[in-house]
Structure 1
Amino acid sequence: MHCLLSRGLACLALGLLGGPASAQAPGGWAIKATPQHLVLSGYWLEAEHARPGHPAQTLTLGPQLYWGPAGRPDVPADLNRPRYNEVVRGAGLQGQHRFYLSAPGASHSFATGFYLGYSPQVQFFRLHFGRNDQWHEEPGPGGLPYLVYGPLRYRETVLRYGVAAQAGYQLALASWALLDVYAGVGVRKSYSWSDFGESQFRSGPSDYAHQGVYFPAGFKLGVALP
């Protein structure tokens, strides 16, 4: 009888103190979007979930879609080489392994607080652009060729991959909403095949064919799924 009473008191004390089995249960899914890539016609989503058996670690998988006018916000307009109707089509995939400083508590279904992580990534782009104003033939009504003056159309294909290390802070805005702010450093390699000859999209860190060291930073907005 005394043994059973001792065990009961021990279990009650463990529950009141918040043992690992209750207060640090693995978190649920969180779905996030990265708005700043819209300026590049990029649509980034990310799904985050706790690593099984390791509640202070999470794994993320982020598909990327690029569709729309090409954008390079850190590159000033080149008056000697105007850019005509630059369009991007592309896709990418990024994963991340995160290490939070603390496991998720009982009040949230997802991890919050400071974290460190590393992110491998691969991207593929198909870019269309105009260059070299000159007289050239274009098909007109009925398939007849017309002589017009203007830019010739070119196409560039880019394959890019790399890895980045990041530090960030994930904040719970509500029981179902979160804000993720991050910054880091990475390195990437790109291969370009262009009808024009040299790559036209390596003018800065935000450009589609950029390679070398870069500094990813930004924020994500997300929701927690039950």
Structure 2
Amino acid sequence: MLAVSVRAQGQEATANRTLLVKLVPQYVVVSGYWLEVEKSWKQHPRQSFIFTPQLYAGHVGQPDARTVPSITDSKETVRGAGAQLQHRLYLSATQATYPAGLYVSYGPNFQHFTVSGREIGWIEVQGPTGLPQYEYSEGPRSETINRYGATAQIGYQAPLHPGRVFLDLYAGIGYRESISRSDSKKIESQYRTGSSDYGHEGLYFPAGFKIGVALR
């Protein structure tokens, strides 16, 4: 225990770079762009606070192999934003000039999506006599999704020598709720086929890696 204490104190004394910025590349497959900012707590160097702004823009990704026959998948787009807040505690320390080593973290998150596309179904149109009639054709479809929840993670932040660049590996468990609203006549969200889909709710298991740099 004395050895662990000495090691931790040594890390606290040398961790003079307290602002870290990281990219989270795996969300690009669903047109998501995450940037994580970590700031150490001055009074407690082995603890830090993390803010992760999220932007979604582009074609709808389908990592869960979603297949909905009534939707023309190739024309779907997603726009959205989100944020995640976390408190992180380093359990072990490496001899780096910034926070590194084994850690646990936890915190809430919120996301907002608008998914637009073309849907095949019955659409009300004006007939030749001026009266409304229905025809089976393709028309626009839009669904708005709000999702919120929380996660707990364990990971390891490893320096890549030499320099300030590092790798952050993590895995964890989370829970989220999802509320959707659609202009389609379908009541159920069509974006809940798996944990990577935009409207998923319930338990999920976040895991992946981040590439970062210590700024100051």
Q: 1:68 aligns with which of 53, 58, 61?
A: 58
Q: 1:168 aligns with which of 155, 161, 164?
A: 155
Q: CA RMSD in A?
A: 2.5
The alpha-carbon deviation at position 95 of structure 1 amounts to: 1.0
Residues 1:83 and 2:78 aligned together: no
* Matching residue of 1:128: 116
TM-score, reference length from structure 2: 0.82
TM-score, reference length from structure 1: 0.79
Contact 2:88 2:104 in 1 (8 A): yes
Identity %: 45
Unaligned runs of 5+ in 2: 1-6, 126-134
* Matching residue of 1:219: 209
* Matching residue of 1:94: 84
Equivalent-residue separation in structure 1 for 2:106 and 2:16 (angstroms): 20
Residue by residue, what CA displacement relative to the aligned partner does 1:55-88 show, whole Å, maximum 9, x if unpaired? 111111010000000112112434x445331110
Residues 1:154 and 2:141 aligned together: yes
Equivalent-residue separation in structure 1 for 2:200 and 2:16 (angstroms): 38
Contact 2:11 2:94 in 1 (8 A): no
Residues 1:182 and 2:161 aligned together: no
Unaligned runs of 5+ in 1: 1-16, 138-147
Q: 1:29 aligns with which of 16, 19, 35?
A: 19
* Matching residue of 2:105: 117
* Matching residue of 2:128: none
Residues 1:191 and 2:167 aligned together: no
The alpha-carbon deviation at position 132 of structure 1 amounts to: 1.4
User: Which structure has greater strand proportion?
Assistant: 2
Contact 1:92 1:121 in 2 (8 A): yes
User: Which structure has greater helix proportion?
Assistant: 1
Opposite residue 93 of structure 1, the aligned amino acid is A
The alpha-carbon deviation at position 206 of structure 1 amounts to: 0.6
